[in-house]
Amino acid sequence: MFQVKKGAHLAVLLGCILYGMTGLFLANIHNLPITSIIFYRLFFGLAFIFTYLLAMNRLGELKPGKRRARLLLQGIFVLVNMFFYFLCVKETCFSMAILLEYTAPIYVMLASPFVLKEKIKKESIAALFLAIAGIYLVIRPESGFGTLEFSGSYIIGIASGLFAGILLAVIIMNVRVLKKDHSEFAIAFWGTAISCLLMAPFAAETSISALVPNILPLMAFGIVSVGVGGIFTTIGFANLKSQTGSLLALIEPVAGVFFDLAFLGVALSTGTLAGCFLVLTAAVIVSSGGSQKPSVACADYLETAESY
Q: What amino acid is encoded at 232 in this protein? A: F
Window from 65-69, 183-187, 262-266 with minimum mean pLDDT: 262-266
Query: pTM of the entire structure?
Result: 0.78
Confidence label for 265 from pLDDT (cuts 50, 70 and 90) = low
Contact indicator for 247, 16 with CB cutoff of 8 Å: no
Whether the predicted pLDDT of 100 surpasses 50: yes
* Domain edges within the chain: 7-306
Q: What does pLDDT average to over the chain?
A: 81
Confidence label for 144 from pLDDT (cuts 50, 70 and 90) = low
**What average pLDDT does range 269-279 have in this prediction?**
79
Which is nearest to 287 in space by CA: 255, 245, 253? 245
Contact indicator for 164, 97 with CB cutoff of 8 Å: yes
Confidence label for 95 from pLDDT (cuts 50, 70 and 90) = low
Residues above pLDDT 90, as percent of the chain: 26
Would you list the DSSP string of 65-93?
A: -S-HHHHHHHHHHHHHHHHHHHHHHHHS-
First to last CA, the chain: 15
Contact indicator for 160, 88 with CB cutoff of 8 Å: yes
